[in-house]
Amino acid sequence: MATIKPFAALRPKPGLAPKICELPYDVMSSDEARQLAADNPLSFLHVSKPEIDLPLGTDPYAPEVYARGKENFQRLISGGALCRDREPFFYLYRQIMGQHSQVGLVAAASCEDYLKGVIKKHELTRPDKEDDRIRHIEALSSQTGPVFLTYRASRTIDELVTKRVSEPPAIDFTARDGVRHTAWVLASKSDILLIESEFVCTPCLYIADGHHRSAAAARVYQSRKGSGHSAFFLSVIFPHNQMQILPYNRVLKDLNGHSLFGLIEKLQRVFSLKPGGPAKPVCKHELALYLDGRWHALAVRPEFASTTDPIESLDVTLLQKHVLDPIFGIENPRTSKRINFVGGIRGTVELEKLVNSGDYSCAFSMFPTSIEDLMSIADANGIMPPKSTWFEPKLRDAMFCHMI
């Protein structure tokens, strides 16, 4: 059963939130962050990617980078831009992106639940990335980037959320990318007790995004032996039926020596192929290939898709197993320099642009992995292939910070 707790969040002063809150550290390069934070001393990128305040070429993992992040963090606090609540509360965080709306519960999730598998994973983590997040947490004594969790929707929680989001919010702003961010404070003792008791009856939580942040939090908890508030980590928990997963598309550097005709011939053994199809697949086991200036619709042949294994049935698995490895010679997509991944937020126009530029030879447009597939794989203690999901909208750093 899942244990979540209210906490005293460090939050931005409402009028300053649009200037402070930023996209996560890992969705942009240092150069992009430097441009975004230019002329804005309140930007949280000075905390989450503090190498932007040091000379060009500075190693982003150097000790002075974390020290500068701590200095910038303390400046936001001492200057009153970030203020800590006096009591522990739960919070609601709503995001509206176009026609999509999702409301998550902001809470402190249990590191013990993570270590025992009550909070379920579906991705492998890299030690170097964990180490980076550990150094960042330790420097700040705070978790500033939330872990994106999901759970099977509860009518009781849904009803409470519907009531509370009809009330005046604590923070409400639209970011420069057009995504609206709204927050509410759940201060009522009865609300807090209801939420805690409802999650005690929730068998598990699932990590949607934030495997390195949660792994790092658990390691800090172990090293600190649970001192302070280190036994819990910052999370935003969304009901599964509100999740929006976009595709994670593939672009390939070359055709592995195949002619256009030879490549099409090999692909036709795996797919029913139709030239001139749509750029976006419309269902599972359908893909689209951009090659030689036009799109081709690909439908996986039944003999390749007939499996009950949730991992083997994923489109990203089928593509890797039957196409990328045997046809393109890409054995390990994690390490190969001949493949790159493009988040679905960039659209299929970005795929066309990359191929038309000559930097890439072809692109595969994918149908999004479903949240049901993700949960089934996590329930079976399975690991999804790399770059299987792209969640949107992204949670903003500094909307809430958890001081440990």
Residue pLDDT, tens place only, 208-266: 999 999 999 999 999 999 999 999 999 999 999 999 999 999 999 999 999 999 999 99
pLDDT digits (tens, 9 = 90+) for 178-197: 999 999 999 999 999 999 99
Please state the rounded mean pLDDT for residues 293-297: 97
Q: Which residues contact 265 (CB under 8 A, 6 or more apart)?
A: none
Mean pLDDT for the stretch of residues 338-361: 95
pLDDT of residue 1: 87
Give me the residues paired with residue 249 across strands.
342
341-356 in b/e form (b: 16+ CB < 10 A) is ebbbbebbebbbebbe
User: pLDDT at position 67, please?
Assistant: 98
Residue 134 reports pLDDT greater than 90: yes
Average pLDDT for 99-115: 98
> What is the tens place of the pLDDT at every residue in 17-27?
999 999 999 88
Question: What pLDDT score does 361 carry?
Answer: 98
Q: Do 396 and 23 form a contact (C-beta atoms < 8 A)? A: yes
Mean pLDDT computed over 322-337: 95
pTM for the complete prediction? 0.92
Q: What is the pLDDT of residue 259?
A: 97
Q: Is residue 298 scored above 90 in pLDDT?
A: yes
pLDDT of amino acid 340: 96
Residue 116: pLDDT band with limits 50, 70, 90: very high
Interatomic CA distance for residues 3 and 205, integer angstroms: 10
Q: Residue 308 — pLDDT band, cuts 50, 70, 90?
A: confident
pLDDT over 90 (residue 126):
no
Give alpha helix (H) positions in 79-126.
111-116
May I ask the CATH architecture of the domain 248-367? 2-Layer Sandwich (3.30)
Q: Is the pLDDT of residue 306 over 90?
A: no
* pLDDT given at position 8: 98
Pairing outcome for strands 205-209 and 147-151: antiparallel
36-46 pLDDT, tens digit per residue, is 999 999 999 99
Taking the domains of the chain in order of start, what are their residue ranges?
Answer: 4-244+392-403, 248-367
What is d(CA 25, CA 314) in angstroms, rounded to the nearest whole number? 28
Identity at 206, one-letter amino acid code = Y
Query: 370 to each of 27, 241, 310, 319, 330, how far by Cα in Å?
Result: 22, 10, 11, 16, 25
Q: What percent of the chain has pLDDT over 90?
A: 94
Q: How many other CB atoms sit within 10 Å of the CB of residue 88? A: 15
